[in-house]
Amino acid sequence: MDLVIEGRFYINGSIKDTSVGIEDGKIVTIGNIVRGGDERIDLGNRLILPGFVDPHVHFRDPGFTNKEDFRSGTMSALFGGKTCVLDMPNNDPPAIDVRSLKNKKSTIRSKAYVDYGLFAALTPGCNTDLLSPMVCGFKLFMGSTTGNILLNDDEEIGHVMKDVARTGKVVSVHAEDDSMIIRGNESNNWDHLRDRPVEAEHNAIRRLSAYRGMKVNICHVTDSRSLELAASLGFTTEVTMNHLFLCADDSTAAYTKVNPPLRDRKTRDSLYKAFAEGKVTMFGSDHAPHMLTEKEQDYQSAPSGIPTVETDIPIWMNLVKHNQIPLELIVRMGAEMPARTFGINKGRIAVGYDADLIAFDMKKGTTINADRLHSRASYSPYEGMEAIFPDTVIIRGEVQVDDGEFCGSNVGEDVSGY
């Protein structure tokens, strides 16, 4: 056995003092007495969780590496307690065919500090059979956003969805009906909300009803009605901290401009209530960084997107500490369900799973300070909020963060194995 970890583990819904044996990057045994091990680590009273899996990040590599690259993005994920991220395809060039995917994979392979998977964008005529072995899933953009890979025609969607069904892969959907989006002049979040109404989200989900039974995941849901519609069709759902915590009247500046937009306070509160009741499958960060100079432009010119990959789990853990949200909910939605939905051997502390472990000293609280974060986006709308960052992060049995300091290397691997 390569390594034995001793401490307080979250296993099958409860916290227990035990030991975990690791060999070749996998958990091979769990028990009160695990003998041997080339190395033994006692994490004391820290709370040890499975590494979190983020099903929705935009690391901008290749093409927009002035905003973020895979090195800075995965380092941010690592310090935020994410041991695996799934990266979206709207790069430059976008990941839409074998050539662009191979180029992206070769570009990022040596940069990754956490494990990762890639999405391919669904475009008319794309060869899903060839793309399937290379990706964790496919992305359907029904609404305009960063990148020019919109697909909002029902006939064209039908063709590609039929092809995807043969592969068994998940289709993650940006569900905003582009025909209902207004291209108006915007000066604040309320204008952005006016131009991208919640009805566009509802209608996009309704139009997907023909694909009941397929593996469809509705990304960054902003409204509790959307959750109900998606659930009625058997789709999984994903929410972001942005739409659970922020709302349109929080700021008139473009720092919180995002697609889909922040909703009004009542809609936000209803979504949070549904989330707290366990009516959401999982959460993702939708980490979408831009340069501060871009976000400081006038609202109309500023790009949409908020950097969150390093801060959402630490904020959730602070809420867990103060009994404002159950630990079970956070682990299920942030680790177990993303891994299960996308068929990744992570997200649980159990024999046979990847030995991805993160440890929190729940007595060590801090506040969000953008200057101490690792993203190239040097700002955060969560500045000053209380948080608990992991002080130990282990990926496949390799310690990458120890006592809050980086001590590892670029060990990240592609979970598709391609």
Question: What is the spatial distance between Cα 203 and Cα 61, in angstroms, rounded to a whole number?
Answer: 32
Q: Residue type at 178?
A: D
Question: What is the spatial distance between Cα 239 and Cα 120, in angstroms, rounded to a whole number?
Answer: 21
CA angle 53-51-349, nearest 5°? 115
Cα 403 to chain center, whole Å?
A: 24
Residue among 415, 418, 417, 391 at smallest CA distance from 405:
391
The position carrying tokens 């979970």 is: 415
Question: What is the spatial distance between Cα 40 and Cα 20, in angstroms, rounded to a whole number?
Answer: 10
Number of helices followed by number of strands (H, E) in the chain? 13, 18
Decide: 356 and 346 in contact? Cβ < 8 Å: yes
Q: Which two tokens stand for residue 250?
A: 């929080």
Question: What is the spatial distance between Cα 388 and Cα 73, in angstroms, rounded to a whole number?
Answer: 19
Query: Mind telling me the catalytic residues?
Result: 286
Question: What is the spatial distance between Cα 414 and Cα 284, in angstroms, rounded to a whole number?
Answer: 19
The residues that bridge with 139 in the sheet, in sequence order, are 121, 172
24-29, long-range: CB < 8 A, 24+ apart: 24/397, 25/354, 25/355, 25/396, 25/397, 25/398, 26/352, 26/353, 26/354, 26/355, 26/396, 26/397, 27/349, 27/350, 27/351, 27/352, 27/353, 27/354, 27/355, 28/1, 28/351, 29/1, 29/351
Q: Which two tokens stand for residue 1?
A: 């056995």
Question: What is the spatial distance between Cα 398 and Cα 367, in angstroms, rounded to a whole number?
Answer: 28
DSSP 128-195: HHHHGGG-SEEEEE-S--SSS-B---HHHHHHHHHHHHHHT-EEEEE---GGG------SSHHHHHHH
